[in-house]
Structure 1
Amino acid sequence: MKEGPDIARIAALIGDPARANMLTALMTGKALTATELAAEAGITGQTASSHLSKMDDGGLLRVRKQGRHKYFSLANDDVATVLEGLMGLAAKTGHLRTRTGPKDAPLRKARVCYNHLAGDMGTRMFDAFIAQGYLRTTGEALELSPMGEDFMRRFGVDLDGLRRAKAPLCRECLDWSARRSHLAGSVGRALLTRFEDLGWARRTAGSRVVTFTRQGERQFLTEVIGALR
């Protein structure tokens, strides 16, 4: 037997169509019950429980109990990053379950990728931060520059609090629809939360779509893409 990580086991867990549908549903960042996930996958509750148990054992899920119910969410950002990467590869190689069209426009414009902003607006923000020198790469790592840290603080992001959590501040995540990078990590999560707190955007119930108000989109373009002065 070859030594090293067993990628075949992880691939098999993700590759089952029912399990893939359940994992995709959890990319909203919300915790769902087994019943809700069974409906997403189009399977019985008993079959869903079997699939969820396998994914939990494989380290893909986080399970929390509240009262009589169990709630399932993705285990961590690493799982979300792998799923988004697979979506990008599937889109790039033409493996789409439905034809793209006007109904996909809101999803492609702005959506949540587990806990951060993705879609066209997410990639535009990433590109702007790179162009403005707010983000820089050091070796394999993505990090905030001093200018980037200053921008985040002025925009209301608590960087000191994020650092105390000891999670990666910045991560590069491949966007499946745009096939370019958007910003993940605790800074990416904090920015999406900030957009919501400011009333610029809201998440659409039962969907990954993030809807910006007309005024919110204008402010996003001037204050984030155009940079605060």
Structure 2
Amino acid sequence: MLARWLCVIALLGACSPLASHAALIIGGTRVIYPSDAREVSVQISNQGDSPSLMQAWIDRGDSNAQPDDSDVPFLILPPLSRVEPGGGQILRLTFLGDDSLPTDRESVFWLNILDVPPAPERSADANQPQNILQLAIRSRVKLFYRPAALASQHPNESGMKLRWTVADGGRGIEAHNPTPFYVTLTQVDAMTADGANPLAFDDGMLAPGSRLALPLPTGVYPRQLRFTYINDYGGRVTRDAQLTQP
């Protein structure tokens, strides 16, 4: 399959000129799929100057999963298409049913878009090197499956409902997500009289009911935090929060 080209391409380019092409743009930074929806559409546009071959598939969070290995309760059409320059393609996602998914909280999947550019033209000059490294570019965005039972709640307010407590004997803090929605943090600052102290973390996505431990820099003892999370529309929302004792 096309996704496997990435492994092959990586072995070809030790001394080759680079020809990269990232033209396909996903219309949004995340996809929300309400469980009672018949289907959900995702707009893909080609902002490049050449046609692109697009392959689309969904995985459960394994970034190494190939389209052939995909085992998800979604049908995506078309899975393979040619997108003309300046044109677009609408992907239609249909939920096929899965009784194992919880009905009281969200589940997360990932939508993959592989952009395979056309092969570059070979030079007519025999003295010119003909080795070209051609890259297929993959984009991934989160796909949230949202049960109908959550329709009366407000997902865009979920970040403001995070609970922040002092942890590890004052050497860190802990974020707890009590909501049924995923909350994705992009930045957390410990606020002191000296200003903002950014806290390091690898993955800022808190699953429903989960906790995230954040170590504090040495000598930093904040009483207040400033954090930024992503809402349903892909916008970044910044709020202040008070720290509480455990």
Greater strand fraction, Structure 1 or Structure 2: 2
Q: Which has the higher helix share?
A: 1
> Do they fold alike, i.e. is TM over 0.5?
no
- Select the structure of larger CA radius of gyration: 2
TM-score by length of 2: 0.27
Q: TM-score of the superposition, structure 1-length normalised?
A: 0.28
